[in-house]
C-alpha cells in the first residue's frame, strides 16, 4: 500500500502512535510451524515470502521473482519506466492461454518502504500472484489468457502501475490486484461494482474454502486505482481478519480506531517481518481466489 498519501498517512501515523503502546503486535505462528509435507501450498507461498523479505533492495526482490518465474517455465520481461525524478522497473510475464483471448492480468507490487522487511506489504501479495501463476500455467483458463505483473514504486504513488496504464498497449479484460495477503479468515475484495460477476464467484469460492468474503468499494489505495482511474476494469484482494476491515477503513478515514488493527501496526514499520504472516491462511486465500477466477472464466464463455 502506498507510503505517501501525505496528510492521510500523517494522521494515520499519529493515531497508531497514540495506541501502539497499549496494543503490541502479537507475532503469528513461526514459519517452522508449516509442514511442507502436509501443506505444500502453504510452504511454497511462505518460501517466496521469506526469499523476498530477505532481499531489501528493490532489484534483489525482483530477482527473487524472476528466478521463481524461470523455475515455473514462465518467460518474463523487465520494463523500465521513469516518472519525474523516479525510475523503476516492472516485471511482466505471459503465463498461459491463446494470444487472441481476452487478458486476465494478475498483479502485485514488489517494492517496499525503507523500514521493516516488507513481508506483509507486499511480499505476501507477490507470493499470492506467483502461486496463481503456477496454477494457471499448469491448468490454463478456458476463455482468458493469463499474464502477471509485479509493479515497482507502488510506495511512491502507484508509479509502476500508472506507467503500464499510460503505455496503453494492452488493456486487460480485468486486472486483479493483490496487496497485503498475509493472515486472517476474510478475503477483502475491493470492487467498484457489486454486480461484477467476480463478486458472486468470490462469494461461492470463499463458502467452499471455509473463509469469509467482504466485498465493497471502500478499500485502501493500491495499484488497482491506476486502472480504475483510466476506466479500465479492476478489483483488488487482501487477506485479513474480519474485525480488522472496518477498523482499517476508520484509520484511512483519519480516525483513531480502537483497537488499532494488526495490519495498521505492521505495515510500514519494523514489525513487518515474516513472523507476522500465516502461510496456512494465505494458502487458503489463494485457493479461494483461484476457484473464483475459474468460475468467473467459465461464466465468461461467448
pLDDT tens sequence across 1-42: 665 443 333 334 333 333 333 344 654 444 444 554 458 999
How far apart CA 300 and CA 173 sit, in angstroms, is 11
> What residue has cell string 495499484?
223
Buried b / exposed e over 231-253, threshold 16 CB at 10 Å, is ebbbbbbbbbbeebbebbbbbbe
Rounded to the nearest angstrom, the gap between the alpha carbon of residue 302 and the centroid of all alpha carbons in its chain is 29
pTM value is 0.90
How far apart CA 111 and CA 266 sit, in angstroms, is 16
Mean pLDDT of the chain: 90
DSSP 164-208: HHHH-S---SEEEEEEEE-S-SEEEEE-S-TT-HHHHHHHHHHHH
How far apart CA 280 and CA 45 sit, in angstroms, is 9
At 12 the pLDDT is 40
Amino acid at each position: 500500500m502506498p507510503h505517501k498519501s501525505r496528510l492521510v498517512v500523517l494522521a494515520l501515523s499519529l493515531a497508531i502512535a497514540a495506541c501502539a503502546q497499549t496494543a503490541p503486535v502479537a507475532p503469528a505462528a513461526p514459519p517452522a510451524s508449516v509442514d511442507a509435507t502436509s501443506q505444500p501450498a502453504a510452504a511454497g507461498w511462505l518460501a517466496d515470502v521469506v526469499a523476498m523479505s530477505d532481499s531489501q533492495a528493490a532489484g534483489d526482490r525482483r530477482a527473487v521473482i524472476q528466478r521463481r518465474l524461470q523455475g515455473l517455465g514462465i518467460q518474463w520481461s523487465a520494463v523500465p519506466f521513469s516518472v519525474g525524478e523516479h525510475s523503476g522497473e516492472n516485471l511482466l510475464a505471459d503465463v498461459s492461454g491463446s494470444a487472441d483471448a481476452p487478458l486476465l492480468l494478475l498483479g502485485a507490487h514488489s517494492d517496499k518502504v525503507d523500514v521493516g522487511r516488507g513481508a506483509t506489504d507486499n511480499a505476501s501479495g507477490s507470493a499470492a500472484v506467483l502461486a496463481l501463476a503456477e496454477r494457471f500455467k499448469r491448468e490454463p483458463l478456458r476463455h482468458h489468457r493469463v499474464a502477471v505483473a509485479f509493479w515497482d514504486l507502488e510506495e511512491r504513488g502507484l508509479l509502476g502501475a500508472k506507467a503500464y496504464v499510460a503505455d496503453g498497449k494492452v488493456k486487460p479484460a480485468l486486472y486483479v490486484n493483490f496487496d497485503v495477503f498475509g493472515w486472517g479468515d476474510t478475503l477483502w475484495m475491493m470492487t467498484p461494482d457489486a454486480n461484477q460477476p467476480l463478486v458472486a464467484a468470490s462469494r461461492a469460492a470463499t463458502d467452499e474454502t471455509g473463509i469469509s468474503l467482504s466485498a465493497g468499494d471502500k478499500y485502501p489505495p493500491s495499484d488497482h486505482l491506476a486502472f480504475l482511474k483510466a476506466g479500465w476494469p479492476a478489483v483488488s484482494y487482501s487477506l485479513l481478519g474480519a474485525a480488522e476491515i472496518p477498523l482499517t477503513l476508520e484509520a484511512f478515514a483519519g480516525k483513531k480506531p480502537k483497537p488499532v488493527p494488526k495490519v495498521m501496526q505492521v505495515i510500514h514499520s519494523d514489525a513487518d517481518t515474516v513472523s507476522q504472516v500465516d502461510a496456512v491462511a494465505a494458502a487458503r486465500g489463494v485457493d479461494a481466489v483461484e476457484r473464483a477466477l475459474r468460475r468467473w472464466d467459465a461464466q465468461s464463455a461467448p
